[in-house]
Structure 1
Amino acid sequence: MQSENSNVWQKRKNCGKIRLDYFYGEEKRKMKAMRAEKKILSAENGMVFLVVLLLMGGFFWVRDYGISFDEGTEFNTMKLTFQYADYVIAHLLGADVVDYSGFTEYADNIYGVAVRYPLYLLAAKVPMSVRTFFLVTHYYTYFWFCGAVAALYYLVRRITGKKWLAALGAIMLICSPRIAGEAFYNIKDSMFFSLFLISLAAGYYYIKQRRTSGLALFTFLSALCINTRYIGGIVLLFVALQFALGEIRKGVGIGKGIWGGLKICFLCYVFYFLMTPFLWENPLVNTWRIIASFSDYGDGIMSMMYCGKIYFSDNLPWHYLIVWILITTPVMVTVLYLAENAYCIKRMISLRREEIKTFLANEDNLFSFFVGSIVWITIAADIILQPIKYDGWRHFYFLYGPFLFTAIMGVHHLTEWTKGQAEKTKCKTVAENVCLGMVILSCVANFFWIVGNQPYEYLYFNPLCRGMETEFERDYWYVSTYDAVEEILRMDDSDEIQIYCVCKTVTLFLEEVELSRVEFVDDMASADYVILQYRAATVEEWKALCENMQMVSEKQVDGLPIYTIYSAQ
């Protein structure tokens, strides 16, 4: 009897102990979660500070960059598109308005401009000079680039859980010379790069949260991305596919899983339809026209220099895209990208079938796999389909987001591997520190190169291309024309100066006082000054045209001539 009472008492005592352990254990878990949340908020506050710092710097840097030859056409497309949208809406409301129905025959009507609608409203409501408008446009483009920096930070922070690695990734993006340099004036390709990366971040957020607000945010941003360049639909397809697979794994059934993915696509198309006036008259036919235009640019054939030879844009070598990526991307980023791919291939080969299923069942792993595959899928499609490409790889700048993300994951897996080996040997830890040091040194070197060559970051060639830079296109958008004209105006105080240059879009960027002094002519012989910028020909071939003129100035970046000014006197 006494033994039985003792057992009962011991059970009650153990029960109370378990309850206390549970209570204190639960409290510890809550406290740990709160501390983790504070760390996340602290890290995100640091990211906010960095983005605000970049935005503030943009106010000072934006004036340093010239204007590209494409911006006049893009401005005209934006104006006609939104005028047509105003016409359709007013016509539906029964208002008496100017007829813009001819927009459906406009040559560039398939190009989306929805992301620039705030600029259209600003130009319509706020009086400003043409130069001021384009400066605002450049800053607006840069604003989206800053958003892409934050998006990359968010992705790396959430997937790896390492705020230092996320910060390193953001810095690697900021210190990527070509991408950072074109973040101001490249209102099409740079804008698409930013929207692509931001859409990826929004897609990841929705996959993890599965909230209605996340769905609305992702589908809207994805539609905006597709409107800018319709290849942005690859983000939508991957997110819809991952959502469907996630639903199927939960046991809702294949049919319901697929239906869930289709609903995402449908909602995105609704947003896309609303922001694309070109579709309003005949949605199905015009949607197909947009898709078909991927590899058909009509008469837009240009000659370009590549590897010392002149090619036409519709007959480029299969390796054109790959080589341009390799010679203009920081070497360390490429090395990390290839290392991460080698790691993933080795791991997938070593895993058994069931382990692969478990690996891909993890949403973070599957999302990272999808992001990494975007690069290879796009390059393979380019080699097979051979779409027309202009001027380097600017049409494929959107690949740099997935490319850099994969490289950062390479750093993540390196640190994880060395952490597991640290107890066995110190050599692994030393290797980790050496690799991280090389990444940081690469960022520092790129940063000082950017500072030393600003605003010509878009002319960056990495060490793999040293000595061969003259065999590739340089300032293919004639952005340096503005600097050359400004230099002529400083050298010559005449009231009337006749200048010959290939790109005359610079007239949109000059002040009224400057325009009154300058006349752009179409004949070198009648010009007071000639500006050469070496597009689609060698330096020697261009300079031969001015052998009877006197060279007065030449701008070089890393010893590479960008523009040369000749005087007729």
Structure 2
Amino acid sequence: MRQPASLLPHRLRRPLVSLFFGVLGLLGVLLHRDYGLPWDEQLDRLNGIISLKYVALKLAPERARQEPSFSAIPDMRDNQDTDHGVIFQLPLLLLERAVGAHDSRDVYFLRHLVTFFTFLAGLYFFYRLATARFRSWTLGLLGAALLIGSPRFFAEAFYNYKDLVFLAFFSTGIYTLTRLLRRPTWRTALLHAAATGAAIDVRTMGVLLVGLTLGFVGLELLYRPTLRSRFATAAALCLPATAAVVVLGWPYLWENPVGHFLEAFQSFRQYRSDMLVQYLGEQVSVRELPWHYVPVWLLITTPLAYSLFFVTGAATLAHHALQRPRAWLRTRTGRQDLLFAAWFFGPLLAVIGLHSVIYDGWRHLYFIYPAFVLLALRGISRTGYWARRGESGIGRLAALGALLALAGNGAYTTFRMVREHPYQNMYFSGLSGTAAERLFERDYWGLSGREGLEWILAHDASPRVKVGTDARTGLMLHNASLMLLPAERARVVLTSADQATYLLTVYRWHPQPYPATRGREVHQIRVEGIKILSVFRR
């Protein structure tokens, strides 16, 4: 397929790209204080603190023991989250100290800002990746806009340090892999090793980058025999360098790198406990999810036009690949498209085939979404070609209409993102609020708890206000209190639902309405017709 030229003059590339990312950076600064605290962010920060204590005891034990909080921090052997690396957490903790963020509210605002800018860095490398693939900086910029313009991803870029940060790191790893495949040198090998090791240290699923590296270096050895020695040297350098980065950035591995990594990987593969999720109107165990759980969640949380162009891109890719597979693989573009297809379909089919535990929508597979967007860009590129050079007038009009529909869908999605702020994480595509509320999980992050607490304190002048929630959602309420101003936080008394004056719920494990015995509903939050929070007063 002939590659399109950029639609705009090359001289506009630098100012427009700078403007695009500059505006996103400004939005990050302006909006990062608007989001609540997700379910387990405090626990994940504690994981980083435990690792920091471990590092301090290794490097400066006497200085570490002089810290006022030293004795209150658990030891590494008592840490239950050792299966999560801390390459992102440790620098955040050092940054907190450097800027003097001590109160929990300031700490988590800082973390949300850094998380967004980390995602923004990954988005830039995705732009570079798309630009190189389509040889068009305008298509690359469009791809970045589609990715950040996906409502759930925009919102979670502020607080989902696990999945969105992993998406950023994994996308960077794919970018460095394409550079290595194009030009195997010791520099590209070390850059790719650093990106791969960092991705693994965010989530052990990052080992997929190692598999993709070996597989596609093997293809290059087959189709570019004159560079075999250079590829062999680069691979021989890349693999041990990756292992070194993984161990260096994950203190839990220091004493027993292989054994502890295998232990962490096994823990990641098998979820420690059972949990129920709301799926298609029923409470389903995460151990018994149907095969279509992830595809359905992907479809209902992605703007419709993006999905239609993804189907077009995947179909045209399959057509070219099956028509003349050997000739297709001989081209660098063909092998690169195969990489993107493997990036998307490989993890998806593995999760379906292995019946892996997934919960909270499809967030554990968010890292395949950039590949989804790349395949959608392929569909957009091909549709643009049909609109310009289609064989029939009707075909050209249909292609032009599809591109206009994409623009319209993008504009409407942006409008919804503004209207739903800061709850873009509640975006559903093509579903009414009533249907989404009945069929699927709502605010599974518990973010709306912050606004619920703020409302209670604004409408109750009592010096001490008793607030409770469902038994399983107590952590959500505690997290929400950490985002309050210190004076307001001191007024809140967190207690059991039976003893509380106010009951606050986000409907995570109680999707049905509450009985009148819980009290009178005095406040609620709705997003596009979906009730995500209620406050009851007894």
Q: TM-score, normalised by structure 2?
A: 0.90
Instruction: Tell me the alpha carbon deviations over residues 352-373 of structure 1, each in whole angstroms, 9 at most, x when there is no partner.
Output: xxxx223212223212211122
- Whole-angstrom distance in 2 between the partners of 1:131 and 1:152: 32
Matching of residue 565 in structure 1 with residue 532 in structure 2: no
Q: Tell whether the 8 Å contact from 1:310 to 1:537 is kept in structure 2 after alignment.
A: no
Instruction: Tell me the alpha carbon deviations over residues 17-45 of structure 1, each in whole angstroms, 9 at most, x when there is no partner.
Output: xxxxxxxxxxxxxxxxxx99x96574244
Instruction: Tell me the alpha carbon deviations over residues 231-262 of structure 1, each in whole angstroms, 9 at most, x when there is no partner.
Output: 12222332343234324433258787556434
- Whole-angstrom distance in 2 between the partners of 1:365 and 1:42: 29
Matching of residue 538 in structure 1 with residue 511 in structure 2: yes
- Whole-angstrom distance in 2 between the partners of 1:488 and 1:101: 34
Give the deviation of 1:441 after TM superposition.
1.0
Q: Tell whether the 8 Å contact from 1:179 to 1:190 is kept in structure 2 after alignment.
A: yes
Q: Residue type matched to 1:334 in 2?
A: S
Give the deviation of 1:420 after TM superposition.
4.2
The equivalent residue for 1:347 is: 320
The equivalent residue for 2:299 is: 326
Matched-pair identity in % = 24
The equivalent residue for 2:84 is: 111
Residues 425/326 of structure 1: CA separation in 2 closer, same or farther (3 Å cut): closer
Instruction: Tell me the alpha carbon deviations over residues 263-287 of structure 1, each in whole angstroms, 9 at most, x when there is no partner.
Output: 3222211111111111111112112
Give the deviation of 1:482 after TM superposition.
0.2
- Whole-angstrom distance in 2 between the partners of 1:511 and 1:396: 35
The equivalent residue for 2:400 is: 433
The equivalent residue for 2:441 is: 473
Q: Tell whether the 8 Å contact from 1:47 to 1:153 is kept in structure 2 after alignment.
A: no
Instruction: Tell me the alpha carbon deviations over residues 170-212 of structure 1, each in whole angstroms, 9 at most, x when there is no partner.
Output: 2211210111111111121111112112222222233334343
SS at match of 1:525: coil
- Larger Rg computed on CA atoms: 1
Matching of residue 212 in structure 1 with residue 179 in structure 2: no
The equivalent residue for 1:293 is: 267
The equivalent residue for 2:255 is: 281
Q: Residue type matched to 2:490 in 1?
A: S
Q: Tell whether the 8 Å contact from 1:84 to 1:101 is kept in structure 2 after alignment.
A: no
The equivalent residue for 1:193 is: 167
SS at match of 2:428: coil
- Whole-angstrom distance in 2 between the partners of 1:281 and 1:520: 40
1:235 to 188, 192, 209: 209
Give the deviation of 1:331 after TM superposition.
1.2
Q: Tell whether the 8 Å contact from 2:309 to 2:379 is kept in structure 1 after alignment.
A: yes
Q: Residue type matched to 1:533 in 2?
A: V
SS at match of 1:463: coil
- Whole-angstrom distance in 2 between the partners of 1:208 and 1:489: 59
Greater mean deviation of Cα atoms: 67-76 or 255-264 = 255-264
1:384 to 342, 353, 359: 353
- 1:320-469 equivalences under 5 Å are 320-351=293-324, 356-421=325-390, 424-464=391-431, 467-469=434-436
Instruction: Tell me the alpha carbon deviations over residues 375-427 of structure 1, each in whole angstroms, 9 at most, x when there is no partner.
Output: 22212211222222221111111111111111111111222344443xx4433
- Whole-angstrom distance in 2 between the partners of 1:525 and 1:291: 41
The equivalent residue for 1:17 is: none
Give the deviation of 1:217 after TM superposition.
2.2
- Taking only aligned residues, the RMSD between alpha carbons, in angstroms, comes to 2.6
Give the deviation of 1:461 after TM superposition.
0.9
- Whole-angstrom distance in 2 between the partners of 1:419 and 1:357: 29
The equivalent residue for 1:250 is: 224
- Whole-angstrom distance in 2 between the partners of 1:465 and 1:60: 30
Residues 533/219 of structure 1: CA separation in 2 closer, same or farther (3 Å cut): same
Q: Tell whether the 8 Å contact from 1:189 to 1:395 is kept in structure 2 after alignment.
A: yes
Give the deviation of 1:552 after TM superposition.
1.0
Q: Tell whether the 8 Å contact from 1:453 to 1:557 is kept in structure 2 after alignment.
A: yes
- Whole-angstrom distance in 2 between the partners of 1:465 and 1:279: 48
1:304 to 277, 286, 307: 277
1:484 to 431, 449, 452: 452
Greater mean deviation of Cα atoms: 104-113 or 273-282 = 104-113
Greater mean deviation of Cα atoms: 493-502 or 233-242 = 233-242
Give the deviation of 1:465 after TM superposition.
6.4
- Whole-angstrom distance in 2 between the partners of 1:349 and 1:563: 50
SS at match of 2:498: helix
- Whole-angstrom distance in 1 between the partners of 2:222 and 2:415: 50
Instruction: Tell me the alpha carbon deviations over residues 420-477 of structure 1, each in whole angstroms, 9 at most, x when there is no partner.
Output: 43xx443343233212111111110100000001000001111056642122111112
- Whole-angstrom distance in 2 between the partners of 1:52 and 1:382: 37
Give the deviation of 1:227 after TM superposition.
0.7
Aligned pair count? 521
Residues 164/432 of structure 1: CA separation in 2 closer, same or farther (3 Å cut): farther
The equivalent residue for 1:83 is: 53
Give the deviation of 1:323 after TM superposition.
1.4
Q: Residue type matched to 2:156 in 1?
A: E
Instruction: Tell me the alpha carbon deviations over residues 273-326 of structure 1, each in whole angstroms, 9 at most, x when there is no partner.
Output: 11111111111211211222232122x322211111112222222221121111
Greater mean deviation of Cα atoms: 546-555 or 463-472 = 463-472
SS at match of 1:526: coil
Q: Residue type matched to 2:23 in 1?
A: L
Q: Residue type matched to 2:363 in 1?
A: R
Residues 276/358 of structure 1: CA separation in 2 closer, same or farther (3 Å cut): same
SS at match of 2:493: strand
Residues 358/104 of structure 1: CA separation in 2 closer, same or farther (3 Å cut): farther
Q: Tell whether the 8 Å contact from 1:104 to 1:278 is kept in structure 2 after alignment.
A: no
Residues 506/153 of structure 1: CA separation in 2 closer, same or farther (3 Å cut): same
Q: Residue type matched to 1:459 in 2?
A: M
- Whole-angstrom distance in 1 between the partners of 2:42 and 2:328: 50
Residues 292/104 of structure 1: CA separation in 2 closer, same or farther (3 Å cut): same
Q: Tell whether the 8 Å contact from 1:223 to 1:269 is kept in structure 2 after alignment.
A: yes
Give the deviation of 1:102 after TM superposition.
4.2
- Whole-angstrom distance in 2 between the partners of 1:373 and 1:359: 15
Q: Tell whether the 8 Å contact from 2:157 to 2:164 is kept in structure 1 after alignment.
A: yes
Gaps of 5+ in 2: none
- Whole-angstrom distance in 2 between the partners of 1:437 and 1:53: 25
SS at match of 1:555: strand
SS at match of 2:442: coil
- Whole-angstrom distance in 2 between the partners of 1:247 and 1:94: 52
SS at match of 1:402: helix
Q: Tell whether the 8 Å contact from 1:244 to 1:258 is kept in structure 2 after alignment.
A: no
SS at match of 1:468: helix
- Whole-angstrom distance in 2 between the partners of 1:507 and 1:101: 23
Q: Tell whether the 8 Å contact from 2:189 to 2:234 is kept in structure 1 after alignment.
A: no
Q: Residue type matched to 1:367 in 2?
A: Q
Give the deviation of 1:229 after TM superposition.
0.8
- Whole-angstrom distance in 2 between the partners of 1:285 and 1:174: 38
Q: Residue type matched to 1:384 in 2?
A: G
2:135 to 136, 144, 161: 161
Q: Tell whether the 8 Å contact from 2:49 to 2:93 is kept in structure 1 after alignment.
A: yes
Instruction: Tell me the alpha carbon deviations over residues 118-160 of structure 1, each in whole angstroms, 9 at most, x when there is no partner.
Output: 2111223332222111101001111122123222221221111
- Whole-angstrom distance in 2 between the partners of 1:237 and 1:302: 31
Q: TM-score, normalised by structure 1?
A: 0.86
